Structure 1
Amino acid sequence: MDADRDKPAPRKAGFGATMRAVFWSFFGVRKRKDYEHDAAHLNPLHLIVAALVGVALFIGVLVVLVRIAVARG
């Protein structure tokens, strides 16, 4: 049991790594190895914020594309 205390805590991924994971997850092209690594290292709070930012960007791009399409029509 002393061996468990000597092991350092797993290093948490930064916000940039979280944004990359969310970006690739939007496309659904995550490798299983990457998914398992993310599940062990990503901060849940960063994950929620990154997902909200990703959704906001996605909706913003869609709104801009629709406005361009309607303006030309």
Structure 2
Amino acid sequence: MEDNKPATQRKMSFGATVRAVLWSFIGIRKGKDYEKDVGQLNPVHVVIAGVIGAALFITILILIVKSVVAK
């Protein structure tokens, strides 16, 4: 089941990688979809999408806190 292709030969697009990372933020993922993603995800894309997702999450939290505290 392990697919040890180099990162440059992985087939999943950046958009699909972002979608997989967002699902992982929520924590909901089907087992077969997870297995499919593991073989096709580009590790570089996963890191970039994770950093962007984390930055967006923190920014949204800061905006929510500032709006609640301002009231």
Q: TM-score, normalised by structure 1?
A: 0.82
- 1:47 and 2:60 are equivalent in the alignment: no
- Matches of 1:11 and 1:61, distance apart in 2: 32
Query: Matched residues in 1 for 2:68 and 2:51: separation?
Result: 26
User: How many residues get paired?
Assistant: 63
Shift in Å, 1:12: 1.1
Query: CA separation in 2, counterparts of 1:59 and 1:71?
Result: 18
Which structure has the larger Rg over C-alpha atoms? 1
**Where has structure 1 moved over 3 Å in runs of 4 or more?**
none
Q: C-alpha offsets along residues 17-67 of structure 1, whole Å, 9 cap, x if unaligned?
A: 000000011111011011101100000000000000000000000000000
Query: What secondary structure is seen at the aligned counterpart in 1 of 2:11?
Result: coil
Task: Tell me the amino acid that sits aligned with residue 45 of structure 1.
Answer: V
In structure 1, what is the Cα distance between the partners aligned to 2:10 and 2:25?
24
Name 2:32's counterpart in structure 1: 33
Letter of the structure 2 residue corresponding to residue 13 of structure 1: M
| Same amino acid, percent of matched pairs | 54
The alignment's C-alpha RMSD in Å is 1.1
- Between the aligned partners of 1:37 and 1:29, the Cα distance in structure 2 is 15
Query: Mind listing any 5+ residue stretches in structure 2 that lack a counterpart?
Result: 1-8
Q: Pairwise mapping of residues 1-73 of structure 1 onto structure 2 (< 5 A)?
A: 12-72=11-71
State how far apart, in whole Å, the 1-side matches of 2:55 and 2:10 are. 28
